[in-house]
Structure 1
Amino acid sequence: MIEEKITDMNIGGVVIFTKSLFIFLLLDVYLKGSHAISSTEVEQHLEMGKKLLAAGQLAEALQHYHSAVDGDPHNYLTYFRRATVFLALGKSKSALPDLTKVIELKPDFTAARIQRGNVLLKQGKMDDAEKDFAAVLERGRNDEAYSQMNAIADLRGDIQEAYMLVEHGQLPAAVEILGKVIEKCPWDPNLHETRAECYIQMGEYYKAISDIRPTTSLRSDNRPAFYKMSDLYYKLGEAEESLIQIRECLKLDPDDKQCQPHYKKVKKLVKQINAAQEAKVNGQYDECLNKAKQFMKTEPDEEFYQLKGQSFLCHCHAKGGNIQEAMMMCNRLLNRDPDNIDALMDRGDAYLASEKWDEAINDFQRAANMEEGNRRAQEGIHRAQKLLKQSKKRDYYKILGVRRTARKKEILKAYRKLAAIWHPDKYDGDDKSKAEKMFIDIASAKEVLTDPEKRRKFDEGEDPLDPEQQQQGGGPFWHEGFNPFGGSGFKFKFNFN
């Protein structure tokens, strides 16, 4: 398509526009003119901004000051008021350009000079701050500027002393001085990083993290800070929080050479720990043991994860019936961490399974003393005391000669073996009354230990076949006709109510 050409001959050459382009330019001029803000509207925005600022509605006030600046870009007061809102919002970086613009438009505006000097001082830019305060003092006496000039001189001396102390390894003294400096220069990332390094060397990782965290906003693209926080949380055993921080690093650069491998390791470890925890909660003790061993292998160097892994092994061995392994792991854990309440209670459970009632009571009592109101510890004491009392009476596990952790298959096998010996129809001895009593005990043991609910009660120290309960209608009784092996002779029949 051939466009009609418009030629402008008013300049030393020829400028050619297409007709469509010319129309577009005219439209653009019209639109810009239609959006121009009058001086009245600028004043309205300033007034609304002032009211919203007084009401504490900073974000809304900022929008009105944006409009005022756009409408009158040569009014120094609009920039100054917007800078005030930026500072109130904690956005010092955004405030500085506005304060600089104010000083360009009105060099003798003392309030802007002092405000900018204060911001620069908080950022640790003492030379630049000093220039602003000096410029104010050149115009006459100003108490605030004079005070800040003296403060800068003191701060320089404190910083020099702090770095000297760091160099000589006097870290607590350095930290104390840096704390005073940071009160005056809270937006200086160098000071926070220096104090964080002191804390790291002192082993106070949480305090180090508190100093590193603000540097992620004080420095742009501060990936090293996110990596450092992730590493510290990792060392503290907070793998989930470590994963959160390292992901922040990768948001800035998915291929960061330091953060990427660390992320893979932490992610793998968190997955394994969560799997071990899930198996533990669900009573899948073999799976719990496997996952615990996996994450201990993933991180063999950091003590916290080794202790955490041993804690899983202690608990899941105890609950899974591996008493010797449980005792070994719980003892190892308690040797390294004597105040580990969970390990004490897990060992208490292992002692119960080993029928060491007094030792179990001691462990649960220690745990209860360490954490008042601990329900598991209180229940453990009560259970151990009941089992101790019960041990002086009839013990169904001992009757069948099986461990307290024996499975149903083992219990039935033991029952059949003993029943074959003591069944009154099969007994070869002369003391038939002894055989009858033994067979009754064997049958009772089988009944209790193969019934999940009755076995649970017995394991908690309550005999479900206690004579007192039989008088109330519970327990077995004999009557003619019972013979599990068939044949003739004595005929017994159990009727379990």
Structure 2
Amino acid sequence: MLCIILAFRFWQETPRQKIEKMIKEGEIQSAFIQLSDILNNETDSLNPIYLEMRAHCAMLLSMATTAILDLTQLLSFEKLAKIERDHLLAVRAAAYLRIGDYESALKDGQLISNKRLENYVKETELLLNQKIFTTNSIKKLLQISPESPKVLSKATQFFLEMKDYDNFLKYSQILMKIDPTNINVVKERSSFLLCNADFNETLKSLSICPECDNIRKNTTYLVNFIDSVQNRDINEISKHINHAKFIVDSTCQKFEIDNELSRFIKLVNSSLLRWQNRLDLAFDVVEDILSQYPDHQDALLSKADILFDAGDFESAAETYKIILEKDPTNFQAADGLQKAQYYIKQQMKMSPFQVIGVSENSDINTIRKAYKKLAIQWHPDNFKNKLFKNIAEKKMKRINSAFEQISFRMKPKDQQQRRNEQKNGDQHFQRKPKNSHFNPNSNKKKNQVNFDNPENFYKEWSHPFRAYTM
């Protein structure tokens, strides 16, 4: 029984052993919390071993200020050997360096007569006070004084100017924890987060800045605007989109970033124009986005929807297919493709007469007039916008093809009609005697068109100003 008790006591860990094990295994935060609990519960006198251990943990957790307090308390103990005191002073000097208190670090260095430490502190001060910084000098300062508000402020400004936004976000967050009164950094960080549409983080950053009311209002405005977009509230969108665009442009123009929020505003504007049936303007907005980001899924979907609404079902179907190749689960593109293919089939079923817009028993003159009217209406030169110009080109191909088919079918009827007109003495087709000195074709009107050649007819009558010269 005695052996069992001794073995149990041998294997039972003391609090100090547990904490040392935590530190060894890298559980620094847990060790720091446990040490704080132990020290807070000691009412008579603080254990110097636990104080030194907590100071060590604080240094590892970038809590140099806490480490300085513990080390100062340790140095107040009278029963300290010189070697122990010098060691504690050296550690405290390092802690002062971390927070940028170079004067106190220099004093501790002088107390232990450490010339190397004194020179190191002076070099750091000179490095910090220089006017122009490089990446290497900033990194060196951050290595020496990672908790110094002055160093962190210079680092965040440097990384912002260098467009190194990852490091800007990293060190601005550290600076805000150490010095929440630095309004400029809070504003810059909040503006950057706003441009990245990270509204929760933006508002969280602004919560410590009462002076940042303008950015807070702009963020809330954009959040409400996005809610109205999700609810498809057209009145609210049309009312607020211009101000939302102004906020984004004025806030984000200084950041050279892949601005998703700006693209979102453009897409909303495109959708609004589409809902207002201003398809040409909506198409131009989407094309502007795709010129910079060809694979942008939302922009591609908007483009396909606009093409569908404009009646260009072939181009709409092609765009829907591009989306589905990259994202087969996009149900909106799948649904759009199905509808576009249905209308393509319906168009293919149309007869040439339906394309021209006449009945199958229409006479030749009626068909000619209908074709002439369509040729004038859909001539591509009548359209400046890219969307409708492409549609007009496709439309004219279909109209010409239909007219050629009709003309081929009705050629015998046309010839018979001409014979009848000649018999009835129609002056347009009546020939002069063989011995006449006039040209046989001199009777033909200047604007008369040979029905046997529809291409010539198209060239003649499809000119945009032809309608005004008849």
Output the TM-score relative to the length of structure 2: 0.58
Give 1:419's aligned residue.
none
How far the C-alpha of 1:182 sits from its partner, in A, is 0.9
Quickly say closer, same or farther: Cα 1:225–1:364, change in 2 above 3 A. Answer: same
How far the C-alpha of 1:377 sits from its partner, in A, is 8.2
Structure 1 segments (4+ residues) deviating >6 Å: none
Quickly say closer, same or farther: Cα 1:300–1:156, change in 2 above 3 A. Answer: closer
Distance 2:264 2:112 in 1: 61
Is the partner of 1:177 in helix, strand or coil? helix
Q: Which of 225, 228, 244 is residue 295 of structure 1 equivalent to?
A: 244
Give 1:124's aligned residue.
100
Alpha carbons 1:86, 1:92 under 8 Å: kept:
yes
Give 1:201's aligned residue.
161
Q: Which of 351, 361, 375 is residue 330 of structure 2 equivalent to?
A: 375
- Tell me whether 1:135 sits opposite 2:111 in the alignment: yes
Give 1:391's aligned residue.
347
Measured against aligned partners, the alpha-carbon deviations of 1:64-123 in whole angstroms (never above 9, x if no partner) come to 12233x3115x6545434433444554321221221122232463233122212211222
- Tell me whether 1:115 sits opposite 2:70 in the alignment: no
What is the alpha-carbon root mean square deviation over aligned residues?
4.0
Give 1:183's aligned residue.
143
Structure 2 unaligned residues grouped into runs of 5+: 1-13, 254-258, 363-470
Is the partner of 1:249 in helix, strand or coil? coil
Alpha carbons 1:49, 1:65 under 8 Å: kept:
no
Distance 2:291 2:20 in 1: 61
Alpha carbons 1:367, 1:377 under 8 Å: kept:
no
Q: Which of 226, 245, 270 is residue 273 of structure 1 equivalent to?
A: 226
- Tell me whether 1:192 sits opposite 2:166 in the alignment: no
Moved more, 52-61 or 194-203: 52-61
Quickly say closer, same or farther: Cα 1:220–1:241, change in 2 above 3 A. Answer: closer
Give 2:396's aligned residue.
none
Give 1:51's aligned residue.
18
- Tell me whether 1:344 sits opposite 2:320 in the alignment: no
Amino acid at match of 1:95: A
Give 1:63's aligned residue.
37
Amino acid at match of 1:356: D
Quickly say closer, same or farther: Cα 1:275–1:378, change in 2 above 3 A. Answer: closer
Distance 1:52 1:356 in 2: 72
Give 2:287's aligned residue.
331
Give the % identical residues. 15
Alpha carbons 1:273, 1:292 under 8 Å: kept:
no
Distance 1:114 1:67 in 2: 29
How far the C-alpha of 1:207 sits from its partner, in A, is 3.1
Alpha carbons 2:64, 2:96 under 8 Å: kept:
no
Distance 1:119 1:234 in 2: 35
Amino acid at match of 1:119: A
Distance 2:17 2:179 in 1: 31
- Aligned runs of 1:459-470 on 2, under 5 Å? none
Structure 1 unaligned residues grouped into runs of 5+: 1-46, 139-144, 167-173, 251-255, 402-421, 423-428, 431-497
How far the C-alpha of 1:214 sits from its partner, in A, is 0.6
How far the C-alpha of 1:226 sits from its partner, in A, is 2.5
Measured against aligned partners, the alpha-carbon deviations of 1:436-486 in whole angstroms (never above 9, x if no partner) come to xxxxxxxxxxxxxxxxxxxxxxxxxxxxxxxxxxxxxxxxxxxxxxxxxxx
Amino acid at match of 2:76: E
Give 2:173's aligned residue.
213
Output the TM-score relative to the length of structure 1: 0.55
Paired residues in the alignment total 328
Distance 1:374 1:179 in 2: 46
Quickly say closer, same or farther: Cα 1:261–1:391, change in 2 above 3 A. Answer: same
Amino acid at match of 1:80: E
Distance 1:291 1:198 in 2: 36
How far the C-alpha of 1:311 sits from its partner, in A, is 0.7
Quickly say closer, same or farther: Cα 1:154–1:381, change in 2 above 3 A. Answer: farther
Is the partner of 2:207 in helix, strand or coil? helix
Distance 1:322 1:220 in 2: 49
Give 1:229's aligned residue.
189
How far the C-alpha of 1:374 sits from its partner, in A, is 6.4
Alpha carbons 1:83, 1:94 under 8 Å: kept:
yes
Highest RCO, 1 vs 2 (Cα 8 Å, sep ≥ 6):
2
Distance 2:90 2:57 in 1: 16
